[in-house]
Amino acid sequence: MQAFESITEMGHEQVVFCHDKATGLKAIIAIHDTTLGPALGGTRMWDYANSDAALFDVLRLSRGMTYKAACAGLNLGGGKAVIIGDAKKMKSEALFRAFGRFVNSLGGRYITAEDVNIGVSDIEQVAAETNYVTGVTSRPGGSGDPSPVTAWGVFFGIKATVKQRLGKDSLRGLKVAVQGIGNVGSHLCEYLHQEGAQLIVSDIDQEKLKLMASKYSAKIVEGPAIYSTECDVFAPCALGAIINDETIPMFKFSVIAGGANNQLLDENKHGKILKDKNILYAPDYVINAGGLINVYNELRGYNAEVARKQAEGIYKTLLTVYSEADRLAISTLAASNAVAERRINTVKAVTGFKHTYDNQSWIRR
């Protein structure tokens, strides 16, 4: 990967490579756009094949956070961080504190939180070195794990997409295939079961699958078979790039609406293919904005009910995106990008508009 070419093409403001020899920390922090506010996005820990793969991931994820905040109406920019390494072997207080010092050095341009393989206890250790952290429980007003609110927003996003594509106001009796039974996927299964949906589940962790089968009478599907499962809704809640040239020909559903980030391997190509196949795709950064909404409320003074209520607004946001897609005869992802860019460009056009992050007045101490 040509680093500067990729950064320029995707419009990033700043990319920081972090290394601490003593702890083995290797991390990348990507700040995409701070027009609407400080860049907020979680940190994930993953054993990437190489640094190019890590950079590719963090650039896409951080850009998605910019668009996510813009579509959700939040006064935030987009950022993301990745820590390179095996989360089962490398985690330590020293490593997370070293990472926290890098976050702190950015002076508030980037605020971090939990993401894949990073839990509340991990982010608490980051918070020992910086105030630019959300999703904590140790501070007054801390919200803790944002995944229940993320799943709540995805649930309402599924309802909106089913309403648009199938004309149904309820999920009762519909078959929903959930790929990935992590924090978000497990909560989503609970909400779907309560609504009366028939669950089909897939994950690499057999114990999680057995739990879903026991609690919700979910049907278990192994590995890639999830892509060819006959169902009404496919809800990807694991890692990204699972909508691609190999998987799309297998699809036997009419709705894709799930919590995973960067679901399309090629945003333009695969977004258009889904449109041509009449599969309604809920843009991932729109439908999974509940977690960002949750931690944004932490910055303002956390109230769980307010956060959940705002996450329900994803229903209306998605209907707006679908209307825009129909009006312009474009893919739903292109439509959501247009909605986000319109808001960002409107704010950029304000004469003399700029942000400063040289104080911590936004932090609830």
Which residues are known to be catalytic?
A: 80
For residues 50 and 52, what is the distance between their CA atoms, to the nearest angstrom? 5
Contacts 24+ apart (CB under 8 A), 200-204: 200/175, 200/176, 200/226, 200/229, 200/231, 201/177, 202/177, 202/178, 202/226, 203/179, 203/238
Rounded to an integer, what distance in angstroms lies between the CA atom of residue 77 and that of residue 151? 22
Name the residue type at position 108: G
Distance CA 42, CA 81 (A): 6
- The Cα 359–Cα 75 span in angstroms is 17
- Helix (H), strand (E) at residue 148: helix 147-166
User: Residue 37 — left, alpha, or beta (φ > 0 → left; ψ -120 to 50 → alpha)?
Assistant: left
Q: Which residues contact 189 (CB under 8 A, 6 or more apart)?
A: 178, 181, 199, 201, 212, 215, 216, 218
